[in-house]
Amino acid sequence: MATQAPARPEPTAPPETPAVRLHGIRRTYGEVVAIANLDLAIADGEFFTLLGPSGSGKTTTLRVIAGFERPDAGRVELRGVDVTGTAPSGRAVNTVFQDYALFPHMSVLENVEYGLRVNGVGRRERRARAEEVLERVRLPGLGSRRPVQLSGGQRQRVALARAIVNGPPLLLLDEPLGALDLKLRQEMQIFLKELQRELGITFVYVTHDQEEALTMSDHLAVFNEGRIEQLGTPAEVYEHPQTEFVAGFVGVSNVLERNGRRFTIRPEKIRMSQDGDGDGDAAVAELGVVREVVYVGMVTRYIVDLDAGGELVVVRQNLETSSQQALEEQGRRVRLSWRPEHIYEIGRERK
């Protein structure tokens, strides 16, 4: 009787090579440590954000990826290739800056064509590709204008068009929306995310704006003093901050210490009721007095001094509340309650 050969194991696919991998990156300026032994992997085709305050190391990290800064130690890999010693022009990377960096003496079309012309692309082909990409960034028919004749949002889209016209696998964006007003910035956030999905290329985005990071990112890294405090999806970082710095920097969060435990609770997760009213769904409650009321249109923020010490910020949507009704809450005793699953315990920050 013939014996059956043992089943051959299915071959395992090799892990996908990250678009960017940083190994032990360190960058100093004299006594100032801008990046301290940074390790980071960014997956191919994702929208990845470097988020942090000024001086946290996020822009220096972007410049190291681009090649504008040479690390003192460590290695930079783009799609598995070590490019640590490669000049910016030798890396398959384009960068979009906050100040657009458009050539004022050139037309919009000439600005977009510029990189193609430098790379020796023929006139007819580069004209067709430039017009196509202007359509993609919603600027058809504006090729003959000069940058000065465009709005800030239009100039930013021209800068994007120039950066993507040659099809780079990696696009770096350094605070590109910082000079725009709030409404236009919010519109451009949606546009950038849609563009990234449409193009399918990797975006690495630098910002200090938490809303931008939460709105657009697939993953984000929160920087503080040259290190990554937390890495994860927007929901993970917002809902489960791992340090007090992240809790305070990403959105608004309350930090309380009770019975030797430090934990965070987001303002929108807290239910505020009159002292004495119960909340059957909540297992945690604190009593206090409303010290301050801030009416901001869609929501009202209440700052409550707690009887047990400390304070909590509470946010309520103004569904049926007028500004006058909200302001009348000041000085009242209230009961604050929340569900146990809405708190997240945090450790001490790194020394």
Ranges of residues in the chain whose predicted pLDDT is under 70: 1-15, 276-282, 347-351
Residue 213's CB is within 10 A of a number of other CB atoms, namely 24
Residue 153 host element (H or E): helix 152-164
Distance CA 336, CA 267 (A): 11
Question: What's the pLDDT at 2?
Answer: 45
Structure-token pair, residue 8: 């051959």
Q: Which residues, in sequence order, are CB contacts of 343 under 8 Å at separation 6+?
A: 263, 264, 265, 284
Distance CA 200, CA 305 (A): 49
For strands 333-338 and 284-295, give the pairing: antiparallel
Question: What's the pLDDT at 279?
Answer: 56
- Contact between 52 and 71 under an 8 Å Cβ cutoff? The reply is no
- Contact between 68 and 174 under an 8 Å Cβ cutoff? The reply is no
Residue type, 85: G
Listing DSSP states for 156-185 in one string gives HHHHHHHHHTT--SEEEEESTTTTS-HHHH
User: Which domains, ranges and CATH numbers included, belong to the chain?
Assistant: 20-239 (3.40.50.300), 255-345 (2.40.50.100)
DSSP symbol at 11: P
Question: What's the pLDDT at 124?
Answer: 92
Q: Which single residue is written with the structure tokens 């409404």?
A: 183
What 299-302 contacts at long range (C-beta under 8 Å, 24+ apart), as own/partner pairs, is 300/326, 301/267, 302/272, 302/329, 302/334
Residue 194 host element (H or E): helix 182-199
Residues 84, 89, 92, CA angle at the centre, nearest 5°? 75
Question: What's the pLDDT at 260?
Answer: 86
Task: Compute CA distances 249 → 58, 149, 150, 205, 253, whole Å.
Answer: 14, 38, 34, 17, 8
Q: What's the pLDDT tens digit per position in 36-93? A: 999 999 999 999 999 999 999 999 999 999 999 999 999 999 999 999 999 998 999 9
Question: What's the pLDDT at 350?
Answer: 46
Question: What's the pLDDT at 315?
Answer: 93
Question: What's the pLDDT at 329?
Answer: 83
Question: What's the pLDDT at 158?
Answer: 93
